[in-house]
């Protein structure tokens, strides 16, 4: 049985060190201005280099998230950033833009290339498509199950990476193909992020996804009587941490388990990494044949995870509202009609 990689987030140096010490095989870090997260969850070049050195000295490695869609004028800078991180010892990169994958593969033939969830993988045939481009792993959608992983493996020998949480099986979602946040705000980059001042969407690195799909919506009514009975709608945001599915996913050929949460507090990431290290190792060595033995520990972690997730969604929606109230006219930046 192949030993899958446990890939942990690092939104800062403290989280990077804690995740490695807790048993992560790899870290993923987002450089300022080049990954699709708020700058407070990204890292400067000096910190990334320190994280690479720290992980490497302890038998782990670092994958750098370059999952924005660079404009034609940014491609050279994007490639130069990747080269710099690789020269420092980064093992690989997480990329969204399909056009960037073959260019990065040609320049860094030994780097491990992940296809980001931002690419919106939607079916098993995509596995062969991205393998042909030069990618090593695809991140499959949250709601894929074991059977879908097996079908993807049948299409290609590309590595399968799955998140360590699962949503209810009530339809498919394709992260990366959503532009809803851009309707709320086209934000400018901050000087800290090191890009020229301009407006852009979350997919271009102008942070961020505001979780529009996860807020509460109300329907407008034609008259007062209807308004009293107009339903409210709250889309599901009940992602659960994965547990029971892990043995089956390993058997199906998953080569990388990814824990999300660069923006979450370091202690919960540390504890989750340690927990999943025990679970995965137990499955591999045969000492954990019944996931029920982990149920009590999982319940505690699940409560902490859901609490932090709700806080994060509420924070992002409040932030989006403030952006909408304080938006400067695009004409002021020379971008209007």
The count of domains in the chain is 1
Degrees to nearest 5, angle at CA 278 with 275 and 284:
140
Q: Is 44's pLDDT higher than 80?
A: yes
pLDDT attached to residue 246: 94
Tokens of 202: 């979350």
pLDDT attached to residue 328: 44
**Once rounded to an integer, what is the mean pLDDT over residues 157-185?**
67
Most confident of 55-59, 164-168, 191-195: 55-59
Tokens of 99: 């056009």
Produce one character per residue of 69-81: b if its CB has 16 or more CB atoms within 10 Å, e if not: bbeeebeeebbeb
pLDDT classification of 170: cutoffs 50, 70, 90? very low
pTM of the model: 0.81
Q: Between 270 and 71, whose confidence is greater?
A: 270
- 3-state DSSP call for residue 278? helix
Q: Is 203's pLDDT higher than 80?
A: no
Q: Domain range spanning residue 185?
A: 5-333
Bridge partner residues of 147 (DSSP) = none
Q: Is 75's pLDDT higher than 70?
A: yes
What does the alpha-carbon distance between residue 88 and residue 79 come to, in Å, rounded to a whole number?
14
Q: Is 81's pLDDT higher than 90?
A: yes
Q: What is the mean pLDDT of the chain?
A: 81
Q: Percent of the chain beyond pLDDT 90?
A: 46
Residue 163, H or E segment? strand 159-163
pLDDT attached to residue 23: 98
Q: Is 186's pLDDT higher than 60?
A: no
pLDDT classification of 230: cutoffs 50, 70, 90? low
Q: Between 332 and 224, whose confidence is greater?
A: 224
For residue 310, the tally of other CB atoms under 10 A from its CB is 12
Tokens of 8: 């942990």
Q: Between 124 and 242, whose confidence is greater?
A: 242
**Which of 8-22, 82-96, 136-150, 310-324 bottoms out in mean pLDDT, i.e. has the lowest?**
310-324
Q: Is 127's pLDDT higher than 80?
A: yes
Q: Is 325's pLDDT higher than 80?
A: no
pLDDT classification of 215: cutoffs 50, 70, 90? low
Q: What is the pLDDT of residues 234-274, one digit of tens each?
A: 555 556 789 999 999 999 999 999 998 888 899 999 999 99
What is the domain-level CATH number for residue 270? Answer: 3.20.20.70
Most confident of 97-101, 185-189, 197-201: 97-101
What does the alpha-carbon distance between residue 275 and residue 186 come to, in Å, rounded to a whole number?
39
Q: Between 309 and 247, whose confidence is greater?
A: 247
Q: Is 317's pLDDT higher than 70?
A: no
pLDDT attached to residue 114: 96
């Amino acid at each position: 049985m192949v030993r899958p990689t446990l890939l942990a987030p690092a939104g800062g140096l403290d989280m990077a060190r804690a995740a490695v010490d807790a048993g992560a095989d790899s870290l993923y870090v987002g450089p300022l201005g080049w990954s699709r997260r708020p700058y407070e969850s990204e890292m400067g070049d000096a910190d990334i280099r320190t994280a690479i050195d720290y992980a490497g000295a302890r038998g782990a490695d670092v994958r750098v998230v370059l999952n924005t869609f660079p404009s034609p004028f940014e491609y050279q800078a994007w490639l130069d950033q990747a080269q710099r991180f690789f020269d420092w010892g980064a093992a690989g990169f997480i990329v969204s833009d399909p056009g960037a994958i073959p260019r990065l593969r040609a320049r860094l033939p030994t780097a491990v290339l992940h296809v980001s969830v931002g690419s919106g993988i939607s079916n098993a045939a995509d596995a062969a498509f991205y393998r042909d481009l030069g990618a090593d792993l695809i991140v499959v959608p949250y709601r894929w199950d074991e059977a879908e992983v097996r079908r993807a493996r049948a299409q290609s020998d590309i590595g399968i990476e799955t998140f360590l949480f699962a949503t209810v099986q009530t339809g498919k979602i394709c992260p990366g193909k959503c532009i809803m946040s851009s309707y709320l705000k086209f934000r400018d980059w901050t000087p800290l992020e090191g890009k020229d001042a301009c407006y852009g969407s979350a997919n271009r690195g102008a942070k961020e996804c505001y979780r529009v799909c996860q807020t509460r919506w109300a329907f407008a009514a034609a008259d007062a009587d209807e308004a009293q009975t107009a339903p409210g709608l709250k889309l599901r945001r009940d992602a659960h941490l994965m547990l029971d599915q892990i043995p089956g996913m390993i058997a199906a050929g998953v080569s990388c388990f990814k824990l999300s949460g660069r923006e979450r507090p370091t202690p919960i990431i540390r504890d989750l990494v340690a927990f999943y290290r025990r679970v995965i190792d137990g499955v591999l060595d045969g000492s954990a044949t019944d996931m029920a033995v982990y149920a009590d520990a999982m319940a505690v972690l699940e409560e902490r995870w859901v609490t932090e997730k709700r806080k994060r969604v509420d924070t992002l929606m409040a932030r989006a509202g403030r952006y909408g109230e304080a938006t400067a006219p695009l004409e002021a930046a020379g971008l209007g009609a």
